[in-house]
Amino acid sequence: MEFITSRDGTPIACWRHGSGTPLLLVHGTSGDHSAWTPVLAGLQQHFTVWTMDRRGRGHSGDAARYALERESEDIAAVVDALGGNAHLLGHSFGGLCALEASLLTANINKLILYEPSISLTGSSWSAELETRLQTLLEQDDREQSLLLFFRDLLKTPGQELAALRAGPSWPIRLGAAHTILRELQSIDRYAFTAQRFQTLQRSVLLLVGGDSHPRRYVTAEKLQQGLPDNRIGILPGQQHSAMRTAPDLFVQHVLEFLAQ
Q: How many domains does the chain have?
A: 1
Whether 124 shows a pLDDT value over 80: the answer reads no
> In angstroms, what is the C-alpha Rg of the chain?
17
Residue 183 in domain:
no
Residue 166, Cβ neighbours under 10 Å: how many?
8
Query: DSSP string covering the chain, please?
Result: -EEEE-TTS-EEEEEEEESSSEEEEE--TT--GGGGHHHHHHHTTTSEEEEEPPTTSTT----SS--HHHHHHHHHHHHHHH-S-EEEEEETHHHHHHHHHTTT-S-EEEEEEES-----TTSS--HHHHHHHHHHHHTT-HHHHHHIIIIIIS---HHHHHHHHHSTTHHHHHHTGGGHHHHHHHHHH----GGGGTT--S-EEEEEETTS-HHHHHHHHHHHHHSSSEEEEEETT--S-HHHH-HHHHHHHHHHHHH-
- Nearest in space to 178 (alpha carbons), one of 156, 153, 149: 149
For residue 134, being part of any structural domain is answered with: no
Q: How far apart are CA 61 and CA 156, in angstroms?
A: 29
Please report which confidence band the pLDDT of residue 213 belongs to, taking 50, 70 and 90 as the band edges. Answer: confident
pLDDT above 90: percentage of residues in the chain: 84
**Where does the pLDDT of residue 245 fall: very low under 50, low under 70, confident under 90, or very high at 90 and above?**
very high
Within a domain: 162: no
79 pLDDT above the threshold of 60: yes
Q: What is the overall mean pLDDT for the chain?
A: 94
Enclosing domain of residue 39? 2-121+191-259
Residue 80 maps to a domain = yes
Specify the higher pLDDT residue, 195 or 120.
Answer: 195
Q: Is 130 contained in some domain?
A: no
Domain contains 151: no
Whichever domain contains 88, its CATH number is: 3.40.50.1820
Output the pTM of the full model. Answer: 0.94
pLDDT by residue (tens digit) across 12-66? 999 999 999 999 999 999 999 999 999 999 999 999 999 999 999 999 999 999 9
The answer to whether the CB of 216 falls within 8 A of the CB of 187 is: no
158 inside domain: no
Go through 197-236 and write b for each residue having 16 or more CB atoms within 10 A of its CB, e for each that does not: beebebbbbbbbbeebbeebbebbebbeebbeebeeebbe
| 144-189 residue pLDDT tens | 999 999 998 888 888 889 988 998 989 999 999 999 999 999 998 8
Would you say residue 157 lies in a domain?
no
Q: How confident is the model at residue 125 (pLDDT cuts 50, 70, 90)?
A: low
